[in-house]
């Protein structure tokens, strides 16, 4: 009886999977996933890209921020099936961008990271919104209001981001 029940559950699960192909960091990833799978989970579980961190799962902390078609988004609020036609860039992909060394240097020199949990999300937002653009201090504060960092006190992050504008 138990074996038959398990077989039925596996059949039901297999019947609910949706095949998807996502373009992540210039590569295609194909998988059969549940339609409710979040983009953050797809990136970590199906792609093995663990640089995208999951903090609150409510879009408040910003740790899961990635770029979707060049815009910073919270991957914990997006379904993976909703971005099949988009180009997704994670922190691993951002490392290949020409502007990334400047961001890395600014964060290092300004002591803008400690434990590093929030850093990938902040860097993704910085790459989308700050690098090469003139930003006022208030605009940078507004950008950081979507990111929770419990280690740095934000002073180093502010300095690094101001250096990048």
Residues 116 and 31 sit within 8 Å (Cβ to Cβ): no
Q: What is the pLDDT of residue 3?
A: 77
Domains 2-94 and 100-164 share a fold: no
Helix (H, G, I), strand (E, B) or coil at 123: helix
Spans of all domains in the chain: 2-94, 100-164
Q: What is the pLDDT of residues 86-101, one digit of tens each?
A: 999 999 999 999 999 9
pTM (predicted TM-score): 0.87
Q: How many CB atoms lie within 10 A of CB 165?
A: 16
Residues 24 and 47 sit within 8 Å (Cβ to Cβ): yes
Q: What is the pLDDT of residues 20-45, one digit of tens each?
A: 999 999 999 999 999 999 999 999 99
Q: Is 11 left (phi over 0), alpha (psi -120 to 50) or beta?
A: alpha
In whole angstroms, give the CA distance from residue 51 to residue 67.
13
Structure tokens belonging to residue 81: 């099936």
The structural architecture, per CATH, of the domain 100-164 is Orthogonal Bundle (1.10)
The structural architecture, per CATH, of the domain 2-94 is Roll (3.10)
Q: What is the pLDDT of residue 7?
A: 67
Residues 161 and 130 sit within 8 Å (Cβ to Cβ): yes
Distances in whole angstroms, Cα of residue 35 to Cα of each of 29, 77, 105 = 16, 13, 39
């Amino acid at each position: 009886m138990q074996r038959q029940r398990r077989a039925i559950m596996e059949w039901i699960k297999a019947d609910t999977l949706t095949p998807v192909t996502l373009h992540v960091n210039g590569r295609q990833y194909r998988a059969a996933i549940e339609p409710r799978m979040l983009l953050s989970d797809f990136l970590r579980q199906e792609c093995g890209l663990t640089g995208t961190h999951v903090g609150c799962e409510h879009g408040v902390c910003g740790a899961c921020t990635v770029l979707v078609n060049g815009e910073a988004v919270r991957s914990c609020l997006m379904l993976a099936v909703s971005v099949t036609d988009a180009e997704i860039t994670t922190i691993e992909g951002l490392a290949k961008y020409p502007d990334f060394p400047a961001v890395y240097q600014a964060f290092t020199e300004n002591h803008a990271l400690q434990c590093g949990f929030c850093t990938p999300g902040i860097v993704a937002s910085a790459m989308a919104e700050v690098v090469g653009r003139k930003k006022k201090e208030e605009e940078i504060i507004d950008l950081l209001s979507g990111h929770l960092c419990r280690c740095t006190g934000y002073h180093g992050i502010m300095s690094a981001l101001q250096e990048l504008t």
